[in-house]
Structure 1
Amino acid sequence: MTLREELFKHAAIKGAETELRDAEEEVEGLVDEGLTWRIQQASEARAKATKAEVNPERDDHEDRENLSLNLQKMIDDKIWVKKKT
């Protein structure tokens, strides 16, 4: 597994966790199609990320740029800090 794949997987998992947490808060109200759609999208992104494959035709510059952006996002999100629940 490459660093790029791991970064995408991490971002998808974190996004899915955020959507599920938001959904839990909204479930107290009426569940609508928008909530269902968001949960489905988060689940699909998570599944896709865990099955990600490297695209060898992709430009190295683009890979570096995406890696840099994802790394900066993880730094900004302070992923090493345990979140209080």
Structure 2
Amino acid sequence: MANTPQAKKRALQNARRYEINRARRSRIRTFLRKVEEALASGDKAAAEAALRAAQPELMRGVTKGVLHKNTAARKMSRLAHRVKALG
């Protein structure tokens, strides 16, 4: 358990940051799932729209420190490739 005032404050900050990051990760996954569902249904227009909506969310995750830049780039690239191959 945290004993010093600094450690106690850090524990509170970490807990708050964990909740915020968890919500951000969940939001990103929701957008990615929408793209996956559109791909599974075979609807190219819906997949393209979902991908356009997911891209800013992924980049926001990068700027907020939830995702690594290359991870987001890789996910976008793979999804874009799959959407392009559709239809």
Higher-Rg member (1/2): 2
Q: Which structure carries more relative contact order (alpha carbon 8 Å, separation 6+)?
A: 1
TM range (shorter): 0.3 to 0.5
Greater helix fraction, Structure 1 or Structure 2: 2
Q: TM-score, normalised by structure 1?
A: 0.47
Q: TM-score, normalised by structure 2?
A: 0.46
